[in-house]
A and B are shown apart, each in its own frame.
Chain A
């Protein structure tokens, strides 16, 4: 049996072509901007880009999960339109997502049968099993067939997912960051397998932000930046440095030039870098910290660093390299495996968040809806989250002093210029910027020794983002320690006195921002220690 896609491939040189694809989301975000791309049989294409560059959106359009706003997808026989992933699968396009769509209590055989909508009756299962065993023999991908998949290692689960897609006889296989959950050995196995598939004439798209992987396996590399296609080159013709430049922007050394380039979102540098000289005593001391992840056993590897009073210590890097786990471990939300972390010499590992706050930690969380706010709560109720047991807000018998709380909120509204009808307004009625100001106000009202700010300006408009940044700088200037984690490279570079670049749970390097060229940063973010 041969799929429709395979027949077409023989007649023409390409399998699928995206023409002028643009995707605008309902909220106005332009995720993909006029991208034209050709995918050919027997070729592995690396799709490279930073967070939010549009990689995932583009592949979702190719695999039928999302319709494009403009543009079309063409096969040699004419335009194709997929109403659903199933139609794309029937055409021969399969995608393996970062998060697996497996039923945990089912075995591999049952999961594959389920994806074929076959009944889970013994006869049908036997047929599925036979097919799977043949596929495993051909592909070299081995998985236990009779164990519930939740009992398998993550790498094995991924293989089940890949087998599931392969069992549909796909011609184009799209893998979204497949190596992020794998051990190095598993990565090698996966790559060997992908090469074999290429040999069979399949077309493969590998979404990644790791330069090493691009060099190791791809034939061609497509680079996206801010939704636009900025490079489509043969891997052999390009250096890692060039790719890093393409990924993070033009090679510009001086801050002035950068300001010109980022005309829409200019971030004034906070001149006080000289303050590094005046930086105070150590506040946060981390040594040998190892933290587990949700899907991988270790997300943060043996990390050591210090943050001093009066400095902003920035952590840059592509998201998902352990930054969130690091912050969670430091704020009591995630237990650490090894190492120590102290604030002013007092241990914080193993404490609950409230105890850590009491030691002078303020935490501006990366996700204000999930962590930072209780959206149906009022401003007043949100303004005491985490400090609701402090004596100024809580009287005898645990009774809340609403009068004092409201006065406190009114002062926050005034000081942080929060646009709201009053302390009784629900937090969800605020704009994103005002919500973030409320969180920042709440955290700074703790008069902390250290502010741990994670993605503090994400999703905010230019004005609100700048306001938040100004406040962080002001706190720094008033002698507070600030740990800033941001995926926005410009932000980290502009604000930080020292920058660490994080990759796969480790710091690739720590330096003052002006010591780092952009291409070097791009290399480090891509895991290449030039």
Chain B
């Protein structure tokens, strides 16, 4: 440990001034096996790095991985070339490979999203997903109580610690929403939680199946916490509406990472828990360019605008994102906005005001959203906010 500290010090001394000097003009973004096209996590990492590269006139190189066994060789390839000012790893699963590479190439700057790699040349960017998940949870609970639905659902991916942030925040938010609803309307609200870890960040069919099961149990909507599985979640919700013959209203889809409200022409996406991976990537590039890059953990929450609940301005930005990804046709933009607005109108204004109130409370520090980083902590939170579970 002592040895490492010493080494870190030397590296910091040598590396810091060098960074302020000449830039090589290239950044790389390494995506995990999910790859591009998820319209959320990976695409956001690409989007943020791409924007930063354009703003700072750098060349951006995108590297994908066919299998998890490619992570380490790819990082080594990039680091060995010594052509990159910064190598950004988008995703928790790259953590092990980065830990190794960062040690092998101590003068190379790295950033990683969603994982903490303890090395002086790695900026570890993590998000306080519990904060925006609390907003979504509160919204879901109040929406369910308002429409008379007994449950709200969360479909999660692989049970990794990052996802505990979401679950913890969502539980807290639902509890807050139940109480708020009772306080405002005077009617008791006991909306319960349905949640499932599907074990996958890629199998869309699993998302659809999980959602169908939750809808059958009376869920007012489903919060997607599994990247591409959201496509399956939304498919299930859309089919549900088609069978019912409704165009808006519950059940709702709650997107994640990106603003996914526009998906499916904005008909069922009520709000998204945005985790601005793009903001994180942009920040890392900016730090390198401005010479302020340093290793360590950077935590982004509501305050840093690293996370948030989607609003109208976000919708416009991400509609553009969807169009450029080819997932939304330009001629459908107007219809999408109208659909989205109509869907939002299915909830009374006081609920939206309550969400603003919760957000303000978190920002001001008067409301503390709990979080969990391990199974033990998570179990404690599950025990505290049981939400209908025995």
> Do the two chains touch directly in the complex (Cβ atoms below 8 Å apart)?
no
Which residues of B approach A to under 8 Å, CB–CB? none
A interface, CB within 8 angstroms of B: none
